[in-house]
Structure 1
């Protein structure tokens, strides 16, 4: 007798496959342009009109059918219709031009009090003037929109994108109005979903909207769409990479790579796919490091187009329990950072906010930052290059993901691929992280291992990591034997002795570690909350003294780990988190920051600063 699976299992499989098929097409966009901000011709930042649409009236008719899937494709807010002046005007129940406006880039939660906790759809519209020039191609580029975005130009749909922290790009050549009068409409929806990446449950504020720069980029008919210029894996004197052209004339074209200061100039020929690969000697390059963040002006030319970038060159690898930067042992003195300025409500809005955060990290004594828990602004990566900070870059595979849903995996892999595409030329990035605190289980292991394989296939020159799971036994031993660790280059994990478990700060030094893997250990998180200005003794929870004592004893405990080669305590600055509801000590903030929401340094800041001073004296001196 044939045993059929339960109906709910069949439905889950059908829906999963359908989701994968939908996801693969819905997530599709033109290949991301490398160093896209350098190609811009017109910024669309500034004031955008918006309409709050919790019932999605602008997307569905009263039968819940999407307007943009109808025969006419008309009827949605994306049409940006205007009231008729005829005697019998058409009924139009919206008007962008008379609606409120918000600033882009910027989240809506911090710009309108009634939207503080809003999760749902908001439509945003921007009119702009740009007359297309013959022989040029145009691309509409968004740095990020949280979370699901439907994007329309002049009333026509360009596509849909899922993922709140990776770039979105569509070619609009032939779609711009010949008279130069254009408008773009975005349906942004920050609703959380179980099958999304991240999932429904997170520990940061769910900021909605267009949170990073928007611009139109212009390019020739055949142009440099992508490139990688880096040192070969483990080789300090070999420059390797490629240049990829896009367009009808991409085959058999000459492309010139020029690094004038290093005396490197090479003319390359593209193959049948429009790609020109290279391997060149580079013995005279001055290497990039936190102590000397040397960046070279790199020029790539193809006919009438020249693309400029500033790129540093270094190697990163592991040997046993050591991390080697440019072949030398290093200790990664780090801190975790969210993409948020604690002093001003909302997402970080631009270079000023980002530079302030990294300047604080440098003052703390860091040579390393963990950009958690999602891809950060491309500008942040370039600043890290400039300021000499190593970077852990991460995708939001966070907590409990829908491990067995094919569409969820495809979404995660797409976000990882886009992150690596955006950051592959940044010397600062030394770690790709595929996730944080994901629970043990076979489906999770398969999901995460596949992400690791994908990351290695895309970039074999950096380390691959994740924040692993751990468990404790009654004999006060912390065991790190998460099977995902077999696939990774670092043994990284989060532990919160002294806060979520382990007793008072003075009691946590009783713990010892049993770590399965003979790999460098980089602690991805530890810490505890303190309300700046609240004081007590070392046993008074929420006080600065408690947090200070926790750091003192954490550093003692962690220093007993053989192979400890770095850490990124949680976190640089207090940040907004809806989960954090204590009306006295939290009030909507996670208070684990070493710097308060008003910019005040807590006592633990100086504890970690002194520890990092000691580590710098040991490692940076070469002793």
Structure 2
């Protein structure tokens, strides 16, 4: 490295250190029902291919522009180079299709009627993967994780005119990230979800956790337990929790030393379920702040080999889903995307979705509440994670905290998953056990699972029994596994000779099975990639899994074809994973109707 380059990096490091603000990071829930200014739309951008954060010795977030004809500036934002936010840069510009690195976004805006009695935050729904956020030349903070929301306070920096927010996003893949280097989905880069300026009182309700107490489920009078979190220096003395339909208006004393907890006793409570997705308007007031939400009340637990929803057995008629709209080839980021995905799942006969393999947009979770669709949510703790690295465990806990903060009050979300397809090693099992314990410590209202790998067939067993002895299963409420017999090894008819044994009195959910098919390609049932092969595989797989003792549900892989650089068979895959029951054009394959018929046979 030359002396000139070393000096450049040294100057940039100094600029960053002088401008970095360790602003308090406050999680703000329910941004849909708060006063806000949307920053969505066209943003100008600069590609930072060498990932220096600056060009010509000038940090990009400083927003340098030539002052006169003699001034030297070696980068620039222009209205002629723009990207839509939210959206991935890969699908917007052909030259950025497979780009992995840094892009800096700029948005200029005015903010009228700034009040001295208010606080202001910039909120980002998600950006992949490492993000640096600045406003008016000052760095607010840096965030790691591609799928969870975060915010920074901008109260002291916001102006009525000529504000500029500059956000740097880097989607490079690294071994100590979550996910790690290799995934079987497309690495969409950029600001993929909404950006807002949120306006709140000086002291405000930043989060709340409200759920039905399952210990009182069988009593006529039920209990709703909750906790309120405040942000601000002068907390109010009182808060009110109001549920008009239940004639509840309870005043509670605010705990000035921390979170404020409360219990509500209610009669004639209508429970939330797929058949009856009842939501109540819940309003919390405290001081000058007021926030409302639509919340459903339900319990979820296990008993023996059953999953109980509101104390009654439920069979999870599910399907896996990626957070991608194949028609646009982009991450989902609006309510129309959510309606499309849930509409297809409802047509299939599902009451359950596995949101794979990372947190999906909040809009689909809220729509699932309204439609009565149960959800499995997870982090991308997937292939190649550095299980022995304590810093990676910290990242997992941080990302799970952000997801739980966002979705705790959603009745549809019933399962947190801690991993997918991970080999049982000592480091991995300790990592995931610690994570499961951590999740239970902050949310005991949901079940915990993980998509595990099977052992080999029992030697010499006459019934070809697959066993499941993963030590992680002791930590899980539900035993889940992926099984691709007939696709990755063997032929579909071999499913007739196989059976499964877990060795634990717990419910079982088959979290993945299936095979690829190019929609419109036809052949006989042994012609690989044909719709007929996939149809035959589904028939044999469903018959095999339906015999499992303790089967409580399934989520075949997957609802829709999705993009993946790992899938490059010409004229068949062409960069798409073809295991979907629906093509990227929205056309249903023959296997769709096989699964639909099976779910219809299971009843409501």
Match of 1:20 in 2: none
Q: Does residue 226 in structure 1 map to residue 207 in structure 2?
A: yes
Q: What's 1:249 paired with?
A: 234
Residue 429 of structure 2 aligns to a residue whose secondary structure is helix
User: C-alpha displacement at 1:516, in angstroms?
Assistant: 2.0
For 1:379, what is the secondary structure of its paired residue?
Answer: helix
Contact 1:416 1:434 in 2 (8 A): no
In the alignment, what sits opposite 2:547?
560
1:238 match: 223
Please state how far the C-alpha of 1:27 moved relative to its aligned partner.
11
Structure-2 residue corresponding to 1:504:
491
In structure 2, the partner of 1:81 is 64
Work out whether residues 397 and 436 of structure 1, in 8 Å CA contact, stay in contact via their aligned partners in 2: yes
**Counterpart pick for 2:178 among 197, 210, 216:** 197
Structure 2 residue 250 is matched with structure 1 residue 262: no
Of 577-586 and 231-240, the range deviating more from structure 2: 231-240
TM-superposed deviation, 1:570? 0.4
Report if the CA contact (8 A) 1:40-1:215 is conserved: no
Q: CA deviation at 1:274?
A: 4.8
Contact 1:42 1:215 in 2 (8 A): yes
In structure 2, the residue corresponding to 1:416 is in which secondary structure? helix
Correspondence 1:602 to 2:585: no
- Following superposition, the deviation at residue 79 of structure 1 comes to 0.9
User: Secondary structure, in 3 states, of the residue corresponding to 1:478?
Assistant: strand
Distance change (3 Å), C-alpha of 1:27 and 1:304: closer
Q: Which of residues 151, 159, 184 is equivalent to 2:141?
A: 159
Q: Give the alignment partner of residue 174 of structure 1, picking from 153, 156, 163.
A: 156
State the partner residue of 2:14. Answer: none
Counterpart of 1:184?
A: 165
Shift of 1:404: 1.2
- Deviation by residue 1:477-515 (Cα, 9 ceiling, x = unmatched): 2111111000000000111111012x1112222111121
User: 2:5 maps to what in 1?
Assistant: none
Q: 2:309 aligns with which of 319, 325, 349?
A: 325
Query: Secondary structure of the residue that 2:542 maps to in structure 1?
Result: helix
Q: After superposition, where does 1:50-65 map in structure 2 within 5 Å?
A: 50-59=45-54
Q: In structure 1, how many angstroms separate the alpha carbons of the residues matched to 2:94 and 2:276? A: 45
Q: Is the 8 A contact 2:130 2:170 kept in 1?
A: yes
Is the Cα contact below 8 Å between 1:449 and 1:487 reproduced in 2? yes
CA contact (8 A) 2:23 2:140 kept: no
Match of 1:489 among 453, 464, 477: 477
CA distance in 2, matches of 1:349, 1:222: 30
Among residues 192, 215, 221, which one is paired with 1:211 in the alignment? 192
User: Does the 8 Å contact 1:50/1:99 carry over to 2?
Assistant: no
In the TM superposition, what whole-angstrom CA distance separates every residue of 1:79-110 from its partner, at most 9, and x where no partner exists? Answer: 11111126xx3310111135500110000000
Aligned counterpart, 1:94: 75
Alpha-carbon separation, structure 2, partners of 1:27 and 1:211: 24
Q: Which residue of structure 2 aligns with residue 443 of structure 1?
A: 427
Find the aligned partners of 1:454 and 1:556 in 2 and give their Cα distance: 37
Paired with 1:300 and 1:477, the residues of 2 have a C-alpha distance of 54
Count of residue correspondences: 577
* Aligned ranges 1:57-136 → 2 under 5 Å: 57-59=52-54, 75-85=58-68, 89-131=70-112, 132-136=114-118
4+ runs deviating over 3 angstroms? 25-29, 57-62
Q: CA deviation at 1:55?
A: 1.0
1:472 CA drift (Å): 2.1
Cα separation, 2, equivalents of 1:171 and 1:117: 33
- SS of aligned partner of 1:110: coil
2:570 aligns to what? 583
For residues 25-63 of structure 1, what are the alpha-carbon distances to aligned partners after superposition, in whole Å with 9 as ceiling and x for unaligned? Answer: 99996231121232142000000001111112434777x
Measured after TM superposition, the shift of residue 235 of structure 1 is 3.0
Q: Determine the C-alpha separation between the residues in 2 that align with 1:234 and 1:529.
A: 45
1:539 matched to 2:526 = yes
Cross-structure match for 1:314: 298
**Alpha-carbon distance in 2 for matches of 1:151, 1:159:** 6
Using the TM superposition, give the Cα deviation of residue 351 of structure 1 relative to its aligned residue in structure 2, in angstroms. 0.8
Partner SS state of residue 134, structure 1: coil
Give the equivalent residue in structure 2 for 1:281: 265
- What 5-or-longer segments of structure 1 have no aligned partner? 1-24, 63-74
* Structure 2 CA distance for aligned equivalents of residues 374 and 270 of structure 1: 35
In the TM superposition, 1:139-154 aligns within 5 A as 139-154=121-136
Please name the residue that 1:613 is paired with: 600
For residues 223 and 29 of structure 1, the distance between their equivalents in structure 2, rounded to whole angstroms, comes to 15
Cα distance in 2 for partners of 1:462, 1:57 equals: 43
Name the TM-score, length of structure 1 as normaliser. Answer: 0.90
**Structure 1 residues 28 and 596, CA gap change in structure 2 (3 angstroms):** farther
Distance 1:97 1:325 in 2: 54
- Whole-angstrom distance in 2 between the partners of 1:329 and 1:406: 39
Aligned partner of 1:18 in structure 2 is none
Assess if the C-alpha contact under 8 Å between 2:56 and 2:73 holds in 1: no
CA RMSD of aligned residues (A): 1.7
The SS at the match of 2:173 is: coil
Unaligned runs of 5+ in 2: 1-19
Kept in 1: contact 2:324–2:330 (CA 8 A): yes
**2:418–2:448: 8 Å Cα contact kept in structure 1?**
yes
Contact 2:43 2:105 in 1 (8 A): yes
> Counterparts of 2:439 and 2:355 in 1: how far apart (Å)?
17
Q: Distance in 1 between matches of 2:595 and 2:407?
A: 29
Q: Which residue of 2 aligns with 1:302?
A: 286
Q: Decide which moves more: 109-118 or 300-309.
A: 300-309
Secondary structure, aligned partner of 2:522 = coil
Contact 1:260–1:297 under 8 Å retained in 2: yes
On the 8 A contact 1:505/1:538 being kept in 2, the answer is no
Aligned partner of 2:333 in structure 1 is 349
CA contact (8 A) 2:22 2:140 kept: no
Alignment match, 1:381: 365
